[in-house]
Amino acid sequence: MTDHVDGVRRIAVLRANAMGDFLLALPGIEAIKDAYPGATLTLLARDWHAGFLAGRPGPVDEVIALPPVTGVSTAEDGHRAPDGLLARLRDLRFDLAVQIHGGGRYSNPFVLGLGARLTAGLRAPDAPPLDRWVHYAFHQHETVRHLEVAALVGGRPGRIEPRLAVTARDRAELGEVPEGAVAIHPGAADPRRRWPPERFAAVADRLDRPVVITGSDAERDLVARVAGAMRRPAVTVAGELSPGGLAALYERCELLVANDTGPRHLAAAVGTATVGIYWCGNLINAGPLSRHRHRPVVSWTPACPVCGENGLGPYPGRCPHDVPWVTDVPVDAVAEEAEDLLR
């Protein structure tokens, strides 16, 4: 492999964001690790990664949780890298540093500051170049994007959809899960991706299965709205499980119906069938790559329902209206896909 780098013993990979982002990058991280099986792969990430990946089989050997750094480990403005952070990371003497964390305006200078023998990753027009880079275009599937980066350093794709091991520690968090259960996840960090809770309730009632409604601690009210709109009782689990415990719960379910969000990726990664409600632009970047067990139902809303801000440009902006963009997705379409998967 002509792109292979000789003498690599330590690899740093920057991917410091949320659950879905990590899972979409996992095939690319696996490809890098497979190219250098004897090297230590360090994920530069966030606190939740450290807890989630501790003791979990996979390509990541260790996690270094970064403090908030604007454009690197947080989207918030005003967070500079603390004094001494890059010097401490340079002391680890990385041979290879890989940036799979966006276009690189902020992340490429950070990766260059690691002092690795060779850097590789993504580059938008406003970012400084790395030693090896591929062009960052907004509309590209994230998994394919990261596999392109892995190829820069000799990585060859294995799986193109992520798989995640569920551990005994994960399963120890669970109580009873009804046989044949269907999970419903009505939340999403971006309010524009949220299908109305009453529609989730209508789908859950139609499936005639035991239902578990999941959500974060901040989504308790949303989970309660779905449960309250259902004609049958449901189990609610909001903010009660770690990410690993949630993976174990989804592993026990036959199906998850969810918005485009990290838990949908998590359920798919542990082998559970999913129906996802997707806005068309998000489908390009984060939709499932196969259809045998995963069915996206797509909203074709082109613009903000309030102000008409176009969402379909090459680098779409964001208006201040956090209203759902997916309300044109009908209950029948979601229920029919769910019923087909359960058959």
Number of other CB atoms surrounding residue 136 within 10 Å: 21
CATH superfamily of 169-342: Glycogen Phosphorylase B; (3.40.50.2000)
**How much is the pLDDT for 89?**
98
Q: Quick one: what percent of the chain has pLDDT higher than 70?
A: 99
Which residue's entry shows tokens 């403005």? 77
**How much is the pLDDT for 2?**
65
Q: How far is CA 93 from the centre of its chain?
A: 29
pLDDT (average), residues 9-13 = 98
CATH 3.40.50.2000 applies to domain 10-152:
yes
The one-letter code for the residue type at 303 is A
Q: Could you report the per-residue pLDDT of 211-269, keeping only the tens digit for each?
A: 999 999 999 999 999 999 999 999 999 999 999 999 999 999 999 999 999 999 999 99
CA dihedral (201, 207, 211, 212) positive or negative: negative
Contact 204, 226 (CB under 8 A): yes
Q: Which of 88-97, 309-318, 325-334 has the lowest mean pLDDT?
A: 309-318
Residue 158: pLDDT band with limits 50, 70, 90: confident
- Exposure b/e, 161-185, CB count within 10 A at least 16 = b: bbebebeeebeeeeeebeeebbbbb
Which residue's entry shows tokens 């984060």? 286
CA dihedral (128, 133, 137, 142) positive or negative: negative
Residue 1 has pLDDT above 90, yes or no: no
Q: Could you report the per-residue pLDDT of 106-156, keeping only the tens digit for each?
A: 999 999 999 999 999 999 999 999 999 999 999 999 999 999 999 999 999
**How much is the pLDDT for 313?**
84
- Exposure b/e, 219-256, CB count within 10 A at least 16 = b: beebbebbbebbeeebbbbbebbebbbbbbbbbbbbbb
Question: How many whole angstroms separate alpha carbon 9 and alpha carbon 330?
Answer: 52
Residue 279 has pLDDT above 90, yes or no: yes
| Domain span(s) for CATH 3.40.50.2000 in the chain | 10-152, 169-342
Burial (Cβ within 10 Å: 0-12, 13-18, ≥19) of residue 158: exposed
Q: Could you report the per-residue pLDDT of 77-117, keeping only the tens digit for each?
A: 999 999 999 999 999 999 999 999 999 999 999 999 999 99
Contact 12, 119 (CB under 8 A): no
Tell me the H-state helices in the chain: 19-35, 47-53, 85-90, 107-112, 142-152, 168-171, 197-207, 220-229, 243-252, 262-269, 280-286, 331-342
Residue 69: pLDDT band with limits 50, 70, 90: very high
**How much is the pLDDT for 159?**
87
Contact 100, 14 (CB under 8 A): yes
The one-letter code for the residue type at 229 is A
Question: How many whole angstroms separate alpha carbon 157 and alpha carbon 29?
Answer: 10
**How much is the pLDDT for 317?**
83
Residue of higher predicted confidence among 313 and 153? 153
Look at the pTM and tell me if it is higher than 0.85: yes
Residue 52, CA distances (Å) to 32, 49, 61, 75 in order: 20, 5, 13, 21
Q: How far is CA 156 from the centre of its chain?
A: 21
Average predicted confidence (pLDDT) for the chain: 96
